[in-house]
Each structure stands twice: as structure tokens, then as C-alpha cells.
Structure 1
Amino acid sequence: MDLIAPIRLGLETALSLSNLFYCLSGVFVGTLIGVLPGLGPTATIAMLLPLTFGLPSDSALIMLAGIYYGSQYGGSTTAILLNLPGEAASVVTVLDGYKMARAGKAGAALSAAAIASFVAGTLATILIALFAPPLADVALSFGPAEYFSLMVFGLVAAIVLARGSLLHAFGMVILGLLLGLLGTDTNSGVARFTFDLPELADGISFVIVAMGIFGLGEILRNLESETGEDVTISKVTSLLLTREEWKRIVAPILRGTALGSALGILPGSGSILGSFAAYSLEKKVSKHGSEFGQGAIEGVAAPEAANNAGAQTSFIPMLTLGIPSNPVMALMIGAMIMQGIQPGPGVISEQPALFWGLIASMWVGNLFLIILNLPLIGLWVRLLRVPYPLLYPVILSFCAIGVFSLNGSTFDLFLMPIFALLGYVLVKLGCEPAPLLLGYIIGPMMEEYLRRALLLARGDATVFVTSPVSAVMLGLALVTLIFVLLPAIRRKRDEALQEEV
């Protein structure tokens, strides 16, 4: 496969002055939200979606992608210096990173995290360039039945890998599917679930749902848990690693990258699962296993490599199949749709500059991260001294302006707090909102492919099992669901969830 010409096209796109600016802006904002606890990439991207309306499609996606993988990097800074993970994927980094900082090795821990993130991000970008085009070629041969079954499998995997009760996750997916059906039926022209409100004839904007549940909902949860505690900053000395420390992190970085890359493709929180799995693996195979939990540098390098690799390979199913593997990828698909781009395998052939430009920008963005962030560690930590009650009015105003700018509708402004309250209540009930967003994105596409398949088959529903690919996808979905419902598996899953809580 000839990659020279596509990569050259990608570099030309990514290295334009405007896209360099948006890439730098994305990774800067991503690092900032990774540093600030409570404000994750999902909420931030949801709030920034309205700003992308006037941008070129490649610039918009490059900036949003930079926010995502930049946040994975930023979460490690406060995890190491303050024992406070800015991102869920950085929870494992706390175990050894903070112990290193307390022992006067904060600089070495930060350098190990930065190096692991850069190497993992670079290798994961290469994997995307190698495997995404062949996967897209395979997907182009899919028909409506195959796509429908693929989406069923994706939703089942999202249910299985979601944190919390399986029943709750299933309910969230169903609620998301129902919300996605709201509006005018494209085939019959009949209004559905609109309660005779003309404002709902076109459905509810994806931005309103995402910004309400993840943006304002996050504000409500943060205000409730705000403690107002002051932070104690560990002193950062030399950022240079010794020869022994270099030797100790090379293998963990490579193993963490491989594990995180594989898990990142799966639906669910791949970067979070990857960091936990990489830490567990290193603890078993390392010659310094007894040091884990006491300040082992491998305990910083491996999970940081895994969560950054997982964050980037999660783009593979989104770019090639149009299937979001996590809430951030669902937001990316929403951004593509708003830009007039149909997600799926046709992106590579129809929008090659966008596809390869996005991939090339990931390497550029990782380079920006390592050059930009180590000198700014002091700035990031100072931002943590800003009380959250001073930040949330700014965030709230930004959300309101963004939603109103969509259609200039006050009705949309009333909808946003309703979804914020819904998101808050769901979390209080132990329901993870992420599967809802996945169901909301995939629902309309599932319905369309279901109808097309039945139309082509003249109403014969057996088309979903007579097609080999479709039958395999449905079979995998069924086996996955049965496997996770086995008593022994459910018991282990519940124990793991209790430990995480």
C-alpha cells in the first residue's frame, strides 16, 4: 500500500498556518481542561462545538481532536504534583507519580509521562495511517444489513463496557435511541414525539443534548462536590532522566502503547481501561514489581502511554466505519455531520485532505504537547488556585451563547437546562450518560439502515442472518451479551467497579 502520497497530502493540510494554529489551540485547551479536575474533554468539546460552525471542516476536526488527546496529557500533571487526577484516565498515574513527587522526583515523573505520551501518540498515529484505509476499504463493501448489525454490535459493546449496572447502561442506550427518533420522519414526513411543538419538528440539536448533559450537568456535579481545599504543590527540580530511568521506561512504554492501542478501538472508555490494564500488566512483569505503589517510574510511564495510545486509536472506528467508540468520538461525528460530511468509509475517498490532514495533525499535536507543556507546568498548577465558583459563571455564559447561536432560538435555551438536570439525575441514580449519547448519535443511522435493508429485501427480515457479515456481527453481539451476563463474570465486574469507586 502506497502511503507516501496520502501522508504528503496530510502534512500539507496539517502544516498550513491556519491548521497549525488550530492544532496548537486544541492541545493547549486540552491540556488546560486535563489539568483542571472536573472539566473533561467531553464537556469541553460539547461547549466548543458552536465555535466550529464557521471553521473549515479540517480545521474544526483538528482542533477538537487536539482537545481530546491533549486532555489525556494534561491530566498527568496534577496527578503527579498534587495527587489529583485531572482526567479519569490519569487515576492510575497518581499511585506512583505522586509518591515520586513526594520523594523529590517530580521532574523525573513528569518527564516520563511526557515521553510516554509522545511516543505512544506517535506510534498510535502510525497505526491509524496503516490500518484505517484497509478497514475503510472493507467497510465500503458493507450493505445496509451489514451496517445495521455493525451498529447493533457497537451499542452492545458500549453497554457491556460502560461503568455501572448493565441494566442502567441498557436503559441509557434505549433512551438515547428514542431521543434520536424525535422529529419529522424523513420517509413519511410525519412528526414523531414532538408533543405538537413546531420547535421540535427538526428534532433536538445534538449540541443541546451534549452541552446540557455533559456541560451544564458537569457544573452541577462539580458545585455539589466543591470542597474549596487549598493545594500543596510539590517542588519540581530537574526534568532530565538518568540512564537507569531511561532503561526502566522503554519496555513499559512499548507494552502500554500496544495494550492501549488495542483497547482504544473498542467501544467504551478505551483510554481508561488501557491505563488500568497497562499498570496491572507492568506490576506483574516488571523486575521492580515490589516498588509499584511506592514510586516506580514504570507505574507512570505504562499507564500514560496506554491512555494516550487509546485516545488516538479510538479515531479508527469513527473515521472508517462512522461508529463512535466513546462519547468524544460521538461528538466528533456530530461535528462532521454539522460540517456536511457523512461519517463512514467514504471519508477517505471523498475527503482525503481532511482524513490524512487529521492523522498528520495528531503527530504535530503530540510534538506541540511535549514542547509546550513542560515549560508551562508552573502556569497549570497556578490555575488550580482559581476557585471553581469563579469559573462556573463563565462556563455557563459560554454554554448559553453557544446554544443560542445555533438557531437564535430561546426555546433551545430552555431545553439545555432540562438536559442538564437529566444528566445530573442520571448520575445520581448511578446511570452513566455516555451510552445515552452513543444511542442518540447511532439511533437515526440505525433506523435508516434498517429501513433500507428491509426495502431491498422486500420486507424479508431474514436478510440480517442470511448475510454472512451481518450474521457474524449479530452473533458477536449476542455472545458478548451472554458472556457478560454469566454469574462469575458479573461478580468479577461488580467487584472491579466497587474497587474503582
Structure 2
Amino acid sequence: MDFLQPVLDGFGVVLDPGNLLYCLLGVTVGMLIGVLPGLGPAATIAILLPLTYGVEPVTAIIMLAGIFYGAQYGGTITSVLLRLPGEASTVVTVFDGYQLAKQGKAGTALGIAAVGSFVGGTVAIVGLTFLAPVVAGFALDFGPPEYTALALLGILLVATISSGAKIKALIAAGFGLLLATVGRDTFTGAERFTFDNLSLADGIDFVPVAMGLFGIGEILYNLEERHRAAKAPDSVKNVWPSRAELKTSAPAIGRGSVLGFFLGILPGGGATISSLAAYAMEKRSAKDPSRFGKGAIEGVAGPETANNAAATSSFIPLLTLGIPANATMAIIFGALLVQGVTPGPDLINSDPELFWGVVNSMYIGNILLLIMAIPLIGVFVRVLRVRGAILAPITALITLLGAYTIRNSMFDVVLVVVFGAVGYLMKKFGFEPGPLVLAFVLGTLLESNLRRSLLVFEGDLFGFATRPISGTLLVLFVAVAVWPIITSARNRRRQSQRVGANSSSPATDDAGSSDASESSTQKKENV
């Protein structure tokens, strides 16, 4: 009963009219942002950060969380109707969702996605409710060495598991760590990389970095990439799936819920990896894999369930360990810090109203999404007709105004513009901004805890291996770092063996034909 009381108190927090309103606002904005290709939840949360300063921390995080998991369903609409993923996590939905739409079953695909999203999100919230206190209790044993090892592992996982080239992800993460060192040294007071600029003496604030990379950078990139204007259909009919379709999709929804929950907990996992893994699992377990890519309902149900489950479970490492699992979680982490809240093992005891208020708001938010998703499809279809050339300048103006209102500083506006250009160039040359932001957020945590640990161990790096938790985390770090090298070497060896086998076959044939020729010549001579 002692465990249930804070949970019940959390429902009292979220049922406050003001918090309910912000929850509704968050999921509605999230769905809308998911519909607009390119402008994802990370960019939206970064842009809206200044608007959260005037409200209570729990209210602000409820809204930002609603934007995150609401966007997962919104991206489904464009994937199904336009063959254009609204979110990275809905890329695989294009394969079968669009084929269903061509068969006149767009409503069925969107309906089953809504059901799967609700089930996956709800299963993940239940898991979050029971698992988060266990993780937080375990993490109370964490000291500086453990946090150092965990931050290192988190940065490496994000850089190696994220989409795109691994080398580019590692370079982006290294640049993020470098940015985290700008400002005064917290131990000695010496200035680092400030170039005698007083505005940089206190370091680079997280908000302008996030607003520039994910706001201005995404806007510029999407304006350049949006060459073809997709035409939205006039209407979508028969949205609610039939009983037979629900029965066919039920196993995929069940598997996607479990898979998405566990992959969402991992740093670098998140909704995108979960949806890809769920699609692969459904195709592999299907009796007739050839149906996939031609309109298989399981190809929509599994990934859509998994990405919503992962979006919810990624709050576990954020709230209990203070480690963001993906770029969007890093921005929410920054929002918590700006609100004066430090995520970590003590949060569940020091601020239970915020912890359980945010967790329980997801129950309400998922119900609101299920209720709104189907009736609002017509509205979102109309939104798809709005030209990007109209939306982009308005969004950029809101971003710059928001950056100025944080501290009434033009320097912050300059930072947003600079990082906007950096974000555009990164996207242009294939660098994902996610590893940079995560490394920037974790950089301060890594540096401070590493230096504290070295003070405790008197400079002996082997001290990390003497503690069970930090030693285990470092072993995992080495395994994650070495495994791609081993895999790459193994693949090269197999490839060279195949090349060698292929090249030896013609030689054998030539030798055989030569022997046959010599034998024939000998016979003629004998005759």
C-alpha cells in the first residue's frame, strides 16, 4: 500500500484541470507535428521550451511528454496517405501502410495504428509504473564512478546504435563533448574556449543549442529537400478496423508492445530502432513473408505498437538515472534542469508529485489520443495541404522570439542562428544532430563525475574496475566498442574467402580442360 499511495496521488496531480488542459494541448500538438513531415517532436519541444517557463514543472513536462508520444501516431498519417514518413519512427509504416491505402484501406491502416499505439503505450506505462521504482532503488547505490561509466556507455550506445554512419555519429558526439567544456572550469575557475567573451564564461546554454539544431536547422533542411508537393486525398473512409483485422493484428500488437518497451529503455534505442526491429520480427515470423510490402496489416500493427511503447519506456532511464535515451529525451532533460528539477534516483522520493504526475499523465494522454485520432483524421488531411513555404517562416520567427525571451539576450539569438547553420550543414552532409545533443547534455555529468572519481581513487584509473557496478558498466562499454570491429573483421574474412573460392573455380576448370587437351593430343600422336 505504501507503493500504491504515491501512484494514486499522481492521478490527483494529473486530474487537476490545468494539468489536464496541458496534457490535451501536448498530445494535440504532438499529433499535428507528426503530420507535418520534417518538423519532429525534438524540434517542436526545443521551440516550445521558452513557453514552459511560466508554468509549474510538472505541468510543463506533462505537455512536453504529450508532444513526444503524440507525434508517434501523427507521423503514421502521412506515411499511410502520402508515402512520406512524418517521423523517423514511421518509416517502415510506409511499406505496407501506403499499399493498403492504394487498395482503398487507408482507414483500416490508420485505425489499426491507433489501436496498436494505444495498446503499446498502455503496456509500456504499466511497465514504467512497476519498473521505474526498482531501477531508482538500484540506482541509489550509484556514486561518481558509476555515473561516469553510465554516461560513457550512454554516449557510446547512442553513437553506435543511431541511424547513419557510425563514424559520423562518433564525430558528432565528440563535438558535443567539446561544447560541454566551454565556460569556467567548475573545479578551478579557469576559463576554457571562451575567447575572452563574457557571454561564454558561464558556458553554452542548452536551450539555444537545441532550438538551433532542431528548430532552425530542420526548417532550412526541409525547405531544401521538399521538392515535390504531395497531394493529400480528399477523404478517408472506414477508419475502424473489422473484427477479423483486429484478430489478425493482435499477435503483432502483443509482440510490438514487449519489444518496444525493452528497446526503448536502452540508450540509443528509442522509437525508430523499435519500429524497424518489430517489422523485421513480424516478417520473419509470418507464414507468408511475401505479403509484406504489399499491404500486410501486421506490417502496420507491429511497428506502430513498438514505436509508441518505446516512446513511453524511454522515460525510465531519464527519470530514474538522469540519462536521456534519445535526442528528444535530452531536450526534455534540459527542460527539467531549466525548471530546477534534477532527474535521477532521488526524484521519485524527493518530488513524487512530479514523477507520478508525469507517469500517470501518459495513461490519460493515450486515452485522449485514441479518442481524437480517428475523428481528427479529416482535419489532419487538410493540414497536409498547407505549403511548407508558409509554415517555415512562421516557425523560424517563433523560434527566434522564444530564444530572445529566455534571458532577453541577443547573444542567445545569435547562438540559435549559429547552431541552426550547424544543424543544417550536419543534415546536409549526413551527420545526425542527436548524438551531439546527447553528448552535450551528458558531457557535464561525465566530466564532473570523472574528476570526482579520480580524486577518490587518487588518480588511479583502475579504481573504476574495483567497484562492481562501475566495473560491469565499463565491461559493457568495451564490449559495445569492440563488437563492431570484430563483426567488420569477420565479414571481411568471409568476403575474402568467397572471392578466393570464386577465383579458384575457373582455374580448376582451365586446368581440367588443359589436361583434357593434352590427353587428346597424345591420343592423336599414338594413332
TM class by shorter chain equals: over 0.9
Alignment of 1:203-214 (within 5 A): 203-214=203-214
Matched, 1:339 2:339: yes
Describe the shift of the 1:312–1:154 C-alpha distance in structure 2 as closer, same or farther (beyond 3 A).
same
What is the identity, as a one-letter code, of the residue corresponding to 1:129? T
Alignment of 1:399-438 (within 5 A): 399-438=399-438
What is the identity, as a one-letter code, of the residue corresponding to 1:485? I
Distance in 2, matches of 1:370 and 1:133, equals 28
Aligned to 1:442: 442
Aligned to 1:162: 162
Distance in 2, matches of 1:381 and 1:261, equals 30
Aligned to 1:499: none
SS of the residue corresponding to residue 375 of structure 1 reads coil
Unaligned runs of 5+ in 1: 493-501
Alignment of 1:105-144 (within 5 A): 105-144=105-144
Distance in 1, matches of 2:78 and 2:458, equals 59
Q: Scaled by the length of structure 2, what TM-score is found?
A: 0.91
Distance in 2, matches of 1:154 and 1:190, equals 28
**Contact persistence 1:317–1:325 (CA under 8 A):** yes
- Deviation (angstroms), 1:2: 5.0
- Deviation (angstroms), 1:164: 2.3
SS of the residue corresponding to residue 92 of structure 2 reads helix
Aligned to 1:175: 175
**Contact persistence 2:234–2:381 (CA under 8 A):** no
Aligned to 1:27: 27
Aligned to 1:256: 256
**Contact persistence 1:228–1:387 (CA under 8 A):** no
Distance in 2, matches of 1:382 and 1:240, equals 20
Question: Who wins on radius of gyration, i.e. which is larger?
Answer: 2
Query: Can you list the C-alpha shifts for 1:442-472, whole angstroms capped at 9, x where unaligned?
Result: 0111111112212223333322111121111
What is the identity, as a one-letter code, of the residue corresponding to 2:387? P
What is the identity, as a one-letter code, of the residue corresponding to 1:470? S
Aligned to 1:361: 361
* Higher mean C-alpha displacement, 83-92 vs 224-233: 224-233
Alignment of 1:351-500 (within 5 A): 351-488=351-488
Distance in 2, matches of 1:142 and 1:249, equals 42
Query: Can you list the C-alpha shifts for 1:70-129, whole angstroms capped at 9, x where unaligned?
Result: 000101112112222111111111111111122121221111000000000000000001
Aligned to 2:94: 94
Aligned to 1:104: 104
Distance in 1, matches of 2:425 and 2:486, equals 29
Distance in 2, matches of 1:491 and 1:311, equals 33
**Contact persistence 1:327–1:434 (CA under 8 A):** yes
**Contact persistence 2:221–2:428 (CA under 8 A):** no
Distance in 1, matches of 2:290 and 2:234, equals 24
Describe the shift of the 1:490–1:176 C-alpha distance in structure 2 as closer, same or farther (beyond 3 A).
farther
- Deviation (angstroms), 1:59: 0.5
* Higher mean C-alpha displacement, 203-212 vs 158-167: 158-167
Distance in 2, matches of 1:401 and 1:48, equals 11
Aligned to 2:200: 200
- Deviation (angstroms), 1:432: 1.4
* Higher mean C-alpha displacement, 39-48 vs 1-10: 1-10
SS of the residue corresponding to residue 133 of structure 2 reads helix
- Deviation (angstroms), 1:27: 0.4
Query: Can you list the C-alpha shifts for 1:290-346, whole angstroms capped at 9, x where unaligned?
Result: 322111111111110001001111111001100011001101110111011112111
SS of the residue corresponding to residue 394 of structure 1 reads helix
Query: Can you list the C-alpha shifts for 1:126-170, whole angstroms capped at 9, x where unaligned?
Result: 000111111110101111111111111111111111222222222
Unaligned runs of 5+ in 2: 493-527
What is the identity, as a one-letter code, of the residue corresponding to 1:483? W
Distance in 2, matches of 1:19 and 1:471, equals 42
Distance in 2, matches of 1:341 and 1:238, equals 46
Distance in 1, matches of 2:377 and 2:130, equals 34
* Matched length: 492
Aligned to 2:151: 151
Describe the shift of the 1:411–1:240 C-alpha distance in structure 2 as closer, same or farther (beyond 3 A).
closer
Distance in 1, matches of 2:258 and 2:234, equals 32
Aligned to 2:218: 218
**Contact persistence 1:106–1:235 (CA under 8 A):** no
**Contact persistence 2:179–2:440 (CA under 8 A):** yes
Matched, 1:74 2:47: no
Aligned to 2:58: 58
Aligned to 1:8: 8
* Higher mean C-alpha displacement, 184-193 vs 47-56: 184-193
**Contact persistence 2:151–2:442 (CA under 8 A):** yes
Distance in 2, matches of 1:86 and 1:118, equals 19
**Contact persistence 2:43–2:214 (CA under 8 A):** yes
**Contact persistence 2:252–2:302 (CA under 8 A):** yes
Describe the shift of the 1:122–1:489 C-alpha distance in structure 2 as closer, same or farther (beyond 3 A).
farther
Distance in 2, matches of 1:66 and 1:164, equals 27
- Deviation (angstroms), 1:230: 4.2
Distance in 1, matches of 2:427 and 2:490, equals 21
Distance in 2, matches of 1:181 and 1:323, equals 19
Aligned to 1:296: 296
Aligned to 1:498: none
Aligned to 1:496: none
Distance in 2, matches of 1:341 and 1:465, equals 31
- Deviation (angstroms), 1:187: 2.1
**Contact persistence 1:484–1:490 (CA under 8 A):** no
- Deviation (angstroms), 1:269: 4.3
What is the identity, as a one-letter code, of the residue corresponding to 1:426? M
What is the identity, as a one-letter code, of the residue corresponding to 1:71? A
Q: Which runs of 4+ in 1 moved over 4 A?
A: 489-492
* Higher mean C-alpha displacement, 246-255 vs 447-456: 447-456
- Deviation (angstroms), 1:490: 8.9
